[in-house]
Structure 1
Amino acid sequence: MSKVDIFTLEIIQNSLQAIADEMFAAMIKTAMSPIIYEVLDMGTGITDAQGDIASSGSGAPGFIAVLDKAVKRILAQHAQPGEIEPGDVFITNDPHSGGGVTHLNDVVLAMPVFAGDRIIAWTANIAHWNDVGGSVPGSLSTNAGDIFQEGLRLACVKLISKGRPIRPVMQILRSNTRLPDFMEGDLWAGIAAVRGGAARIVDLAAKYGVDLFLEAVADFMVLGEKVSLAALKDAPRGRFTMDELQDDGQTLRVIVEINDGGMVVDLRDNPAQSAGPHNLSRDGTVVAAQMAFKAVTDPRAATNGGTFRPLTVLTRPGTMFEAQSPAAEGFYFENLIRAHDLILRCLAAHLPERLPAGNFASICGTFISGVHPDTGRAFTLVEPEIGGWGGEAGRDGNSAVYSGMHGETYNCPAEVCEARYGLYVDCMTLNDEPGGHGEFRGGRGIHVEYRVRADHTLLTCGYTRSNVPPWGLAGGADGSLNYIEVVRGNGATERYSMVSALPLDSGDVIRIRTASGGGFGDPAARSRAAVLDDLKNGYVSAEIAKSVYGVTG
């Protein structure tokens, strides 16, 4: 039983949330790269002294879930007295030894917060850096056979010591990127964020007293666990299984068990780790399971370390969901979202009131690099794409939003693309390809066309759901597919879902199409008024309205 009144506890907990949000604002206002300040492919958070998430800012949920794991790895690797001091800032990105969880482009900065001589919290952030070296611009190659080909590895390295930058580390960072100015700008934005957050926490602890502050954080963790258990109270008990065919012909398997103590996700019976870059660390798999767990419990409630205490995740070393060093992980994000989507599909038929049909379920990572014809400067466009979500009981799916792993992020505006990159944006609209029909239809994906302005431009992409579409639910139809077409200057068309450093010339067009979500319910049950509205807004063609829904205009 807490000795502190509930109002004071609430004030401290809400203050931590405000601090995490302030850190987020500091990063987006000072970062150099559009992938951070426009797309918001980043996240901020605060952990307790042991590294458990105490409060999260905005940004990609899958990123925020990385921060606690990175801080815990820093603590483990710097466990000797005096190795962590006031004013220190650590940097890490290595999924095998640094708690980076994801891939080398996603860089974590973490700062201990001291009260006297003891750590009372950590501030942390993560952001996608445009280039960290490796074999290709943007550092992501579909041909990478090990992590050494993907760029600079940073395993819990001290970047700033007692407030002063460690010059050799700064030099190493600058020397291992093709875009040093962007790297340095994004780095200092992240440093400013963790420093600002740390100062606010020091003030907060001084105002209420360190012991009360620590008690409030611990109380918040207990509340997180209680909320999750309460949300599972009415969930069906049992052992549920799902096998799903993937684009590459492999089958993925999951067992989900819900019992009175919580949820167990078993991903041990899955293929061996890939010889290419499509692997996921165990910590990354835990992130995917945590995001699915949050979706089926209480997605609107605040999240902290206690939220996931009722969740157990089982993996097996050497598989694609617990890849061992030196496995390449550049395109980890597709395995991350495959695990997330597989868990949700396993549970959707048993929780139709909580979960929708399948969404486009791919990060659809698009990377275009070259030299800007107006400035002569190297550029790398890094763009996760938006797509359609599945229909659900009572409503149509959302159109043109990010996957569940990306959350509160945005696509890069056409004006910014044209100014910062050597491209013209000729088209940005909803995808009109058929799919996702149902009583409640799936949301639409997008159709974007980039026209290349200079020779020797390179395209890399990593899309899944390019052969196996998003799944329908309760009689709804499957959605459409994710893919890229390259239209050459002579009119020839090439189709891709995974490609690395594809040469492009001036006038070539990169045509992106992302999937519609799956439909929910029998299409014959869709109201005539809804179909006519779809026709008016261009969501369905007159042919589909007649052949699928039996409605003519």
Structure 2
Amino acid sequence: MRQAAMSDPITEELFRNAISAIGDEMVLTIYRTAYSGVLKNIMDYSAAICDACGRLVAQGLSLPGHLCSIPVALQAVLAHFGDDVWPGDIFINNDPYDGGMHLPDIFIFKPLFASGERSGERSGGQSERPIGYAATICHHTDVGGRVPGSNASDSLEIYAEGLRIPPLKLYERGEPNTTLFRMIERNVRLPGRVFGDIRSQLAACEIAARGMADLVNRYGSEQVTALMVSMMDYSERLTRQCLMELPDGEASFTDWIDDDQIDIGVPIPLVCTIRKRGDSMEVDWTGSAPQVKGAINNTFSYTAAMSFTAVKSVLSVNMPNNDGVFRPIRIIAPPGTITNGKLPAACAARGLTGFRGVDCAFGALAQLYPDKVFAASDGGNTGLTIGGYDKALNPFIYVDFISGSWGARPWADGLDGNTCMFANMASFSVEVIEAENPLEVLDYEFIPDSGGAGRFRGGMAQRKTWRMLADEGVLQVRADRQTHRPYGLWGGGPGAPGRNVMHPGSAGETRLHAKITMNLKRGEVFRHELPGAGGWGPALERDLELVARDLRDGLVTIAAAARDYGVVAAGDPPMIDAAATEVLRGRLKAERTPLPAVAWEPAS
């Protein structure tokens, strides 16, 4: 039975939790029903509820990288269709130059009506206005283009990257758009998997429709609308209050992407300036490189997402993710730059720039709020795809996003084997990789001594090695931080650089570039090593118990303990000689020049 309309704090809190739970249930629905490993194993997707104006109201447990993308994509749909929205309609969009981010990320939107799925017609045939929208975004295994997985970083323009879908109706009043379905089927390498994942998005939207119907039945449509507005206003108030707690100031930071795979060896600057005044903040990317030839250009929504993620991480309250968080934070990203590419800029591998952008924003925030910001993470996850055909010409595509580590924090070590904050993805099960693809995973392990040294050390890097079991295929890798290492803060050292290696440990071992598109033949072995994360604080001030723990765990070797931390150890298991350590640390303190506030250096 519908309850009387209320606007007291208890009702608002119950509503916030109820609608957030719908977003979480949408996320779990995709997890349980998806076909592809990139969704069911890595969890590269998000789900949300938006209001009738396309504003984000509640985002499920998913990716910070999608913080701003959903409302931008939905508002592009609304701009195209206006009032031409009916029960049974389902919208689709992946066009980076019309609301999308990059082509593998397909948005599905379902309008939610107070009357559920009834006809919704008023007198004169006027459509009932939606009360909100269910929104999902999923990274799909393949959307066509020149390279399996549609995610190569060496494409030169958007037209080479795959099928570009402008805002369209996938279903109209409950009827499928058969023309569009056929177009998608003929332009992707694995239509069964792509359509299976689209159906998982549709299922999540149906869950949202049922959840919204329950809320309307409980509160009434007018009160639901008012409570959604209240929820966004609540997040805005919390965000402004948290910003007021921070000192005013301005700081800039420049970091460098190694290159774009086209102009090899030419570093690409990312410049972030943070301006904090009162209850608002400005994140300005002016000074960043012009858009590049390679496919690492951001759309504005992705640059906004990386900016919001960095700022939100230094706030004292974890308020609900919605439009209210965005309002006090202004994003400046000049068009035609790598942070806001213009048509026909390629953008399939824009994830690299987004991950690096978060660390760049942290570099500026660290100067303003040194006790709240951790050192550079591993540079984001590495995107890797291996695709080809078997003897019967059946396609296979393995898509992996290899997660790494967090930078050292002002109060603790960085996290080992944990995806960077902006990605928030899971690790692909080795058993599933081998069961579903013609590949053998030879190792997946931490790399000793790879975390940046410091009072608190950076997270350790990982390596992963594959052997090709098919006759041949295309290997594509999107990685970075092989030249410009993850920075340390306040005397902490930089993390180890990443590496790509063919035939590691053999006479034919060959070092490769960070970004690769190449053929891989049967029996060939490829290894990727992620970068380590940066350290925080002087390494000679590290607690001996922490060094002893890392020595026991094999994360730091005896040689590195002496070199980086001035710790003398021997034996198996290693035992620290406290007296010798005191002497060595005294000598190293006299010899060493203190590292600057931000420790960055090119890889040797």
Show the counterpart of 1:94. Answer: 95
Matched residue, 1:319: 337
Structure 1 ranges of 4+ moved more than 6 A: none
The alpha carbon displacement at 1:3 in A equals 5.7
Residues 316 and 322, structure 1, Cα contact 8 Å, conserved in 2: yes
Residues 258 and 483 of structure 2 are in contact (CA less than 8 Å); yes or no, is this contact kept in structure 1? yes
Q: Which runs of 5+ in 2 are unaligned?
A: 116-127, 260-266, 570-574, 576-604
Asked if 2 retains the 8 angstrom alpha-carbon contact of 1:372 and 1:421, the reply is: no
* Aligned mates of 1:497, 1:428 — CA distance in 2: 19
Which of 200, 214, 235 is the aligned partner of 2:246?
A: 235
Q: Check conservation: 2:377, 2:532, Cα contact below 8 A.
A: yes
Alignment-mate amino acid for residue 458 of structure 1: V
Question: Partner amino acid for 2:442?
Answer: D
User: Deviation digits for residues 459-490 of structure 1, max 9, x if unmatched?
Assistant: 10111212111111110111112232121887
Q: Which residue is equivalent to 2:205?
A: 194
- Tell me the equivalent position of 2:362: 344
Secondary structure of the corresponding residue to residue 548 of structure 1: helix
Judge conservation of contact 2:85–2:129 (CA < 8 Å) in 1.
no
The match for 1:354 is 372
Deviation at 1:542, TM superposition (A): 0.5
**Identity over aligned residues, as a percent?**
30
Correspondence for 1:141: 152
C-alpha distance in 1, partners of 2:563/2:346?
46
Q: CA deviation at 1:535?
A: 0.4
Q: In structure 2, do the counterparts of structure 1 residues 338 and 547 end up closer, same or farther at CA, with 3 Å as the change threshold? A: closer
Deviation track 1:322-351 (CA, whole Å, cap 9, x = no partner) reads 111111111111121222221111111321
Deviation at 1:30, TM superposition (A): 1.0
Residue 493 of structure 1 corresponds to 510
* Alpha-carbon spacing, 1:35–1:400, altered in 2? closer, same or farther (3 Å): same
- Contact between 1:399 and 1:444, CA under 8 Å: does it hold in 2? yes
Paired residue total: 545
**How far 1:376 sits from its partner (Å)?**
6.9
Query: Residue 226 in 1 paired to residue 225 in 2?
Result: no
Partner of 1:425: 441
Q: Secondary structure at the match of 1:148?
A: helix
Deviation at residue 530 of structure 1 after TM alignment: 1.1
2:41 to 14, 38, 41: 38
1:285 aligns with 303
Give 1:234 deviation, angstroms. Answer: 2.3
Q: Distance in 1 between matches of 2:296 and 2:437?
A: 27
| Counterpart residue identity of residue 46, structure 1 | I
SS of the aligned residue for 2:488 comes to: coil
The answer to whether the Cα contact below 8 Å between 1:426 and 1:449 also exists between their aligned partners in 2 is: yes
Give yes or no for the alignment of 1:246 onto 2:263: no
1: CA distance between counterparts of 2:509 and 2:324? 55
1:124 alignment partner, SS class: strand
Structure 1 position 494, deviation (Å):
3.2
Counterpart of 1:9?
Answer: 12
Question: 1:370·1:422 contact (CA, 8 Å) conserved in 2?
Answer: no
CA shift for structure 1 position 268:
2.1
Q: Deviations over 1:488-546 (max 9, x none)?
A: 8873323231112x111122112111122111111111111111111000111100111
Which amino acid counterpart does residue 105 of structure 1 have in structure 2?
P
- C-alpha offsets along residues 329-388 of structure 1, whole Å, 9 cap, x if unaligned? 111111212222211111113212211111112231111112468x97422111111112
Other-structure match for 2:410: 393
Give the 3 Å change call, closer, same or farther, for CA 18–175 of structure 1 in structure 2: same
Per-residue CA distance 1:24-46 (angstroms, 9 max, x = gap): 11111111101101110111111
* Partner of residue 204, structure 1: 215
1:295 to 305, 310, 313: 313
Check 1:422–1:490 CA distance in 2 against 1; reply closer, same or farther (3 A cut).
farther
* Residue 153 (1) aligns with residue 133 (2): no
2:401 is aligned, of 360, 384, 387, to 384
1:85 is displaced (CA, Å) by 0.8
Amino acid at match of 1:306: G
* 1:198-220 alpha-carbon deviations (Å, 9 max, x no partner): 12102211221111111111111
**Which of the numbers 514, 519, 525 marks the counterpart of 2:530?**
514
Aligned partner of 1:59 in structure 2 is 62
Is the aligned partner of 1:132 residue 2:182? no
1:538 to 554, 559, 573: 554
Distance 1:175 1:372 in 2: 19
Shift of 1:11: 1.5
Q: Could you tell me which residue of structure 2 aligns to residue 166 of structure 1?
A: 177
**Match for residue 110 of structure 1?**
109
Residue 458 of structure 1 corresponds to 474
Q: What do the CA deviations read for 1:138-197 (whole angstroms, capped 9, x no partner)?
A: 112333111010000111111011122111111111111011111111111111111221
- Does the residue aligned with 1:349 lie in a helix, a strand or coil? helix
- The corresponding residue for 2:263 is none
1:51/1:122 contact within 8 Å kept: yes
User: If the length of structure 2 is used for normalisation, what is the TM-score?
Assistant: 0.87
What residue ranges of structure 1 are gaps of 5+ in the alignment? none
Report SS of the residue matched to 1:426.
strand
Instruction: Please say if residues 44 and 64 of structure 1, whose CA atoms lie closer than 8 Å, have aligned partners that are also in contact.
Output: no
Shift of the 111–121 alpha-carbon distance from structure 1 to 2, 3 Å rule, reads same
Instruction: Name the SS of the counterpart of 1:160 in structure 2.
Output: strand
1:307 corresponds, among 325, 343, 346, to: 325
Q: Which is worse superposed, 160-169 or 428-437?
A: 428-437
Q: Does 1:437 align with 2:453?
A: yes
Conserved? CA contact 1:227–1:298, under 8 Å: no
Alignment-mate amino acid for residue 402 of structure 2: E
Report the Cα distance in structure 1 between the residues aligned to 2:37 and 2:530, rounded to whole angstroms: 21
